[in-house]
């Protein structure tokens, strides 16, 4: 495994970081507790040291599973990354910005973006309890909240750093303008943004700005939630409550399938899966610090780690990029 410094912070994260959205269960067709914990253990045992989660993932379930999985392990060797700012329990009392209705247990729960100082402090304390720790390595704003001044949010993060409750502060889904506004109040360690072979919009402005200002980029959805593994063009099926039933529809299926077929011989020649080839390509892109990869079980976690063993030449990367041009780039949603 390769370890990379996150922006201007002192954090050293594993280039492949465990993404814990799916193990929350909600919106992903459920999860199996023991498989999820085994996946986290396998990731840690094979060199992944960083785990990214959020209170919203499974409405606290993801953080709880992580807390259980790391209990008794050396906390100083694990970097916990979590977030704040998505409220689903009504504790915002109608404040904030309505986001969407999240399906859960056969009903829809309204979710709000809310990043006030009081809410940040409240959410962090809840996260610390679920994770079973007294500090978080990186606390990230989950989604921008138009109802709360950026300065208020960033001042709260500065306070938490001074208190020792978080080691570094980051954002997620911020555009360049929002990053520049935040920089007036805080020195951001990172921006977590959607980035994949099919979604390279951040290369236009966020990547150059981040490189120029020593801000790390955490790439999420590098496999486009499994689409780039190729298995959903074969026999894999999605459960009815899996959000990917609608998510995959935004991509041109025929072009994506043709692209995956074109790079399959390259993956096979390296005795690698398509997922491993895609992950490794993503880690090699300019400005990308770490790449999130989810795992529902130990086998998937070990496969993700092995992606870093792949060596790609300049010519091979050029070939992949050329094939990608036959698909298209899309704006992140």
Q: Give tens-digit pLDDT for 212-270.
A: 999 999 999 999 888 898 876 655 565 655 666 667 767 778 888 899 999 999 999 99
Question: Which CATH number does the domain housing residue 185 bear?
Answer: 3.20.20.100
Q: Say if 298 falls within a structural domain.
A: yes
Q: Tell whether 243 is covered by a domain.
A: no
232 CB-near residues (< 8 Å, 6+ apart): 226, 238, 244, 248
Domain that includes residue 208, residue range: 3-226+276-311
| Per-residue confidence (pLDDT) for residue 105, from 0 to 100 | 73
Q: Is 247 part of a structural domain of the chain?
A: no
Give per-residue burial for 115-144: e unless 16+ CB within 10 Å, then b: bbbebbbebbebbbebbbbebbbbbbbbbb
- Asked, for residue 245, whether it belongs to a domain, the answer is no
Contact criterion met (CB below 8 Å) for 121 and 156: yes
In a domain, 244, yes or no: no
CA distance 164 to 219: 26
Domain count, the chain: 1
Q: Are residues 172 and 83 in contact, defined by beta-carbon separation less than 8 angstroms?
A: yes
Model pLDDT for residues 107-160, shown as the tens digit of each residue: 889 999 999 999 999 999 999 999 999 999 999 999 999 999 999 999 999 999
Does 10 reside within a domain?
Answer: yes
Asked if the structure places residue 258 within a domain, the reply is: no
Distance CA 241, CA 29 (A): 6
pLDDT at 30: 52
Question: Mind listing the pLDDT tens digit for each residue in 173-200?
Answer: 999 999 999 999 999 999 999 999 999 9
Q: For residue 259, is it within any domain? A: no
Active site residues: 57
């Amino acid at each position: 495994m390769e370890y990379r410094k996150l922006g201007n912070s002192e954090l050293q994260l594993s280039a492949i970081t465990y993404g814990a959205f799916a193990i929350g269960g909600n919106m992903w067709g459920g999860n199996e507790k023991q498989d999820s914990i085994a996946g986290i253990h396998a990731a840690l045992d094979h060199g992944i040291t960083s785990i990214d989660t959020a209170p919203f993932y499974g409405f606290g379930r993801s953080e709880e599973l992580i807390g259980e999985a790391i209990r008794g392990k050396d906390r100083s060797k694990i970097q916990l990354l979590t977030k704040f700012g998505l409220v689903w329990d009504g504790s915002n009392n109608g404040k904030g910005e309505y986001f969407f209705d999240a399906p859960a247990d056969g009903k829809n729960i309204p979710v709000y973006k809310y990043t006030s100082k009081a809410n940040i402090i409240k959410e962090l304390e809840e996260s610390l309890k679920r994770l079973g720790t007294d500090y978080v390595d990186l606390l990230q704003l989950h989604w921008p909240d138009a109802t709360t001044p950026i300065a208020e949010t960033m001042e709260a993060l500065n306070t938490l750093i001074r208190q020792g409750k978080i080691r570094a502060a980051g954002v997620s889904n911020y555009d360049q303008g929002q990053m520049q506004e935040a920089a007036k109040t805080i020195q951001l360690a990172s921006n977590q943004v959607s980035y994949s072979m099919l979604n390279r919009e951040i290369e236009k402005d966020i990547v150059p700005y981040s490189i120029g200002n020593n801000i790390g980029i955490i790439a999420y959805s590098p496999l486009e939630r499994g689409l780039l593994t190729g298995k959903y063009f074969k026999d894999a099926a999605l459960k009815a409550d899996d959000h990917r039933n609608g998510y995959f529809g935004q991509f041109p299926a025929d072009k994506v399938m043709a692209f995956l077929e074109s790079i399959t011989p390259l993956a096979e020649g390296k005795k690698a899966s398509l997922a491993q080839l895609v992950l490794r390509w993503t880690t090699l892109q300019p400005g990308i610090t770490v790449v999130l990869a989810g795992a529902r079980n130990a086998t998937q976690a070990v496969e993700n780690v092995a992606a870093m063993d792949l060596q790609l030449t300049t010519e091979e990367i050029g070939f992949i990029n050329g094939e990608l041009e036959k698909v298209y780039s899309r704006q992140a949603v």
